[in-house]
Structure 1
Amino acid sequence: METIPDHRHIANGYEIPSETYCDQPYIVQTDDGAWLCVMTTGSGHEGHPGQHVVTLRSTDQGRTWSQPVPLEPADGPEASYAVLLKVPGGRIYAFYNHNTDNIRQVKAEEVAADWAPDGWCRRVDSLGYFVFKYSDDGGRTWSPQRYPIPVREMAIDRENVYGGAIRFFWNVGRPFIHDGAAYVSLHKVGGFGRGFFTRSEGVLLKSENILTERDPERITWETLPDGDHGLRAPAGGGPIAEEQSYSVLSDGTFFCVYRTIDGHPAYAYSRDQGHTWTEPQYLRYANGRLVKHPRAANFAWRCQNGHFLYWFHNHGGTWYEDRNPVWLCGGVEVDGPDGKEIRWSQPEIALYDDDPFIRMSYPDLVEEDGRYFVTETQKDIARVHELDPTLLADLWGQFKRATVARDGLLLEQGSPMPDRVEAPPLPVFVRRSASRADHGTEDLRAGFTVELWIQLDSLAAGQILLDNRTRNGKGFCLQTTARGTVEMVLNDGRTENRWDCDPGLLSPGSRHHLVAIVDGGPKIVSFVVDGVLCDGGKFRQFGWGRFSPHLRELNGEVHLRIGPKLQGRIHLVRLYGRYLRTSEAIGNYRAGL
């Protein structure tokens, strides 16, 4: 396989074998040093008959894998959505959905012409019993018997179309251990309809003796939180609150983040081991801005260094689409009024695919030998990826960074500002390949960044800040728009692309710091204005935009024109021959003029 020259591209990962459909490739490290991966797989699509749970072992950090070991047969009732827990003695538990009664259809809560037109839902992988099996040999074999977990009935169960006689649920959340007890996530479902789940909320299943009890029949379970409902969307939000992901802070506080259909993820804290929770709120960055995220998995992990990582998709969609690229935030603990809390950095792109319709999700994090790995699935290929440690260091160090990035700097021009300078050569994005037999496209995954300190006395449209374009438009420019924004125009003489910063950020007469980042890996343009990454706000779903994968290069005139007829002043220009990370742009802003 030819390596793509960008570690973030998912094709550079190591594939985890599956039957065809594959979901939730989650990993625990066994006592004999192997990685044990559990996966929901099948020969059909998600939710089709034959879906079952398997495990695989790797002894080389995910490069190769053993033959899969089925926990349930492919010709049995659906077995789905497994998670693993290793207890101190080395035993490994696998928890999963099992359609033990082999129910083939259930009544739909909603009837639509394009969904359950006869009133019946025939996807039956999210109902039945929540069960477990165990392995005492690192996942090579599993107990022949499965054991159902008693789950306390709540209002959402009683209110389903069967009055709770049939339970609807599933789980994607990683189990965790705290203060001698184990906790396993569960997402209760109220009904099926358009979008599959029509109502959902999250609970925790707590066992006080699973860490030491060898007899599975004697393991005890408690359903949390107290009361008659689980974690829901914030007040005024929609009926969906699911795929809860839990982390334990250093003072024993539980943090939970989960998806909604409100365009933002929700979170809550528990100071009493899951019995009660703070009022759910929509997640915010440390700077106070709301985090945007669609109906997709968003997970937070506590790392061995005491910091946190958060996986999400950084746009305000309310449906299942647009899970590409993956963005990561870094989290650090801070003292809140009632205990520890997590302060979240602004995000960086961590993984992507060239096809915007590819959706990657349901990740897991593995730390080993000081290295960080994540798994993900596109539902037909699951992979393991090693994360760039400098990316994580940038995220965790973002809160204090106040230095100017020097790597890749092509131009730095301060006051007095000339009206033109010699234009440094910009990198080529794509070119004709000399190594391919057909001499087709070679994608160099290049990028560049423009940084400005500016003061605009007017936001009138059409003012040029920077421009290297030829008469026929080839090159790039930064210019003001009719929305009171600044846009980047990219033209290689064959195609033109443009994207602007979010409206409402620039004020006449005020000094602003503006960074336009053109990232030729995922083909994304983003803006950082006054140290804040544009996310679209309330104006648009996306704060970042895509440009053509066929864009070749942007070298235009020999001179770069600076602010011709500008109503204002440019104090500083920097041009980089690579994309800057969000953290670097923030560091440049904090460094000042």
Structure 2
Amino acid sequence: MNRLYLSVIVMMVVLPVSDAMGQDLLTEAINQTPSAVDIASGLAIPSEGYCDQPYVLRLANGTWLCTMTTGKGHEGQSGQHVVSCRSSNRGKTWSPLVDIEPADGPEASWAMPYLTAYGRAYVFYTYNSKNMRDVIASTPYARKRVDTLGEYAFKYSDDGGKTWSRERWFIPVRETNIDRRNPYKGDVRFFWGVGKPIRHKGSMYLGFTKVESFGENFIGASESWFLRCANIDTQRDPAKLDWETLPKGDHGLQSPAHSIASEVNLTGLSDGSLFCTYRTVAGHPCHAYSRDDGKSWTESAFMTYGPGGRLVNHPRAANFVRKLTEGPYKGRYIYWFHNRKTKGWDGRNPAYLLGGVEVDGTDGKHIQWGEPLAVLYDRNPKTRISYPDFLWDDGLYITETQKATARVHRIPDDLLKWLWEKGHPKSSKSAK
């Protein structure tokens, strides 16, 4: 028997189903037309070793300002903190890292940057303000981590991230039922956020996750929430910013089938509605619409490709929605996910995009998604590609991380074009 043929048979026998599926998707991504991008070809963003959530603001002068969570240890270990760096040549080179919070202070994690209308850069992050590592070490909490507890802190920079304010401020996040159910009955808060805040009707919206409990898989129960700041683009005194925790009431966005509803991400629609996605452990993400600026949301539901459409498949991983605000596809939507029905942390390679356009519904605008196309891959099927950002600068750039190397990638124009001109059931003229 041919040796190559025999090896293929053996691989089919010994590989778990999920691994075999991952290899098949990886092979498709490598061979598809237009070609997906090998992450090894990307431009590295500096870090201290561990790196997460590399999010980029494009400043008025064209400079890129990147914030991220980094550290010399592994995720969740002591020394984890938030930093920034700058690039004036679209990621080819970067300035040295600048500490937003120092590595020798309490843990600071999950930086989310926002650029105001007048040019100030804010960064929001989870801050272990009471330095509770020793306290947590004596409890049964999974992994003894302190990077999802404390205060929602923020600092700002008025010089494009070259320096950051010495003072930090805390957001007065409203206590809700899930806080009172946590092991400290709300005296200590557990939470984190992903992605970048958005501007909607003159206000800033930031999505985040509240945590009730911890288990063998770290997070045991969670809900998705939002923070709205109505005056951040006009009020220059950080102490006078107005904060509101949404939705109204005592319960956040939940999964219809499980206790995990995390890492919510949102965008605004042309009729003033809000649309969000968040992750679950059901093999599908959730989506929801708000027609009243985030005060209430549609009933919890797994995400579909459009009204009445088939379910979107996705593991327990970040899934992001973005509205393109520049370029030939301005006003359309892209959605990052992994197109794989698994319930755990794996299955994050390849990464896929959907292209979306708005369609009319009985209660307002909805997003109709086209067919999936792989956008990024790594040749090792076990690599976890995640926590992207999307930046338009005379073309689409995507940042990503596998927790060890953060990179930026220029996405080929033909790949973006395919999402609507070949991969979408609607005419390319149907976007609004």
Among 173, 176, 185, the alignment partner of 2:198 is 176
Shift of 1:361: 0.1
Whether the 8 Å contact between 1:135 and 1:142 is mirrored in structure 2 is yes
Residue equivalent to 1:208: 230
Whether the 8 Å contact between 1:36 and 1:55 is mirrored in structure 2 is yes
Shift of 1:57: 0.4
Q: In terms of Rg, which structure is larger?
A: 1
Residue equivalent to 2:251: 229
Distance in 2, Cα, partners of 1:389 & 1:86 = 26
Q: TM-score, normalised by structure 1?
A: 0.64
Whether the 8 Å contact between 1:107 and 1:161 is mirrored in structure 2 is no
Q: TM-score, normalised by structure 2?
A: 0.87
Residue equivalent to 1:291: 312
Q: Which has the higher contact order (CA 8 A, sep 6+)?
A: 2
Distance in 1, Cα, partners of 2:182 & 2:110 = 21
Among 277, 286, 293, the alignment partner of 1:266 is 286
1:346-357 counterparts in 2 under 5 A? 346-357=371-382
Q: Is 1:85 the counterpart of 2:114 in the alignment? A: yes
- Cα pair distance change 1:9/1:40, threshold 3 Å: same
- Cα pair distance change 1:144/1:107, threshold 3 Å: closer
| 1:446-484 deviations in Å (ceiling 9; x for gaps) | xxxxxxxxxxxxxxxxxxxxxxxxxxxxxxxxxxxxxxx
Shift of 1:364: 0.3
Q: Is 1:129 the counterpart of 2:169 in the alignment? A: no
Among 376, 392, 395, the alignment partner of 1:367 is 392
Q: Aligned letter for 2:224?
A: G
Q: Is 1:24 the counterpart of 2:48 in the alignment? A: no
Q: Aligned letter for 1:294?
A: P
Distance in 2, Cα, partners of 1:177 & 1:204 = 13
Secondary structure of the 1:289 match is coil
1:310-459 counterparts in 2 under 5 A? 310-369=335-394, 371-397=395-421, 398-400=423-425
Secondary structure of the 1:125 match is coil
Residue equivalent to 2:90: 61
Q: Is 1:150 the counterpart of 2:172 in the alignment? A: yes
Whether the 8 Å contact between 1:31 and 1:138 is mirrored in structure 2 is no
Shift of 1:173: 3.0
Q: Is 1:194 the counterpart of 2:216 in the alignment? A: yes
Shift of 1:391: 1.4
Shift of 1:32: 2.1
Whether the 8 Å contact between 2:153 and 2:168 is mirrored in structure 1 is yes
Q: Aligned letter for 2:415?
A: L
> What is the aligned residue count?
389
Whether the 8 Å contact between 2:36 and 2:374 is mirrored in structure 1 is no
Shift of 1:121: 4.9
Residue equivalent to 2:8: none
Question: Structure 1: which 5+ runs fail to align?
Answer: 109-115, 403-593
Distance in 2, Cα, partners of 1:346 & 1:352 = 18
Distance in 2, Cα, partners of 1:302 & 1:194 = 36
Q: Is 1:43 the counterpart of 2:72 in the alignment? A: yes
Secondary structure of the 2:37 match is coil
| 1:300-320 deviations in Å (ceiling 9; x for gaps) | 110021111111111111110
Residue equivalent to 1:510: none
- Cα pair distance change 1:208/1:318, threshold 3 Å: same
| 1:105-143 deviations in Å (ceiling 9; x for gaps) | 5669xxxxxxx9956751111000001000001111100
Distance in 1, Cα, partners of 2:66 & 2:292 = 32
Whether the 8 Å contact between 1:40 and 1:81 is mirrored in structure 2 is yes
Q: Aligned letter for 2:100?
A: L
Secondary structure of the 1:365 match is strand
Q: How large is the RMSD of aligned CA atoms in angstroms? A: 1.8
Distance in 2, Cα, partners of 1:276 & 1:118 = 35
Whether the 8 Å contact between 2:53 and 2:195 is mirrored in structure 1 is no
Whether the 8 Å contact between 2:45 and 2:407 is mirrored in structure 1 is yes
Bigger helix share: 2
Identity %: 52
Distance in 1, Cα, partners of 2:146 & 2:208 = 17
Secondary structure of the 2:166 match is coil
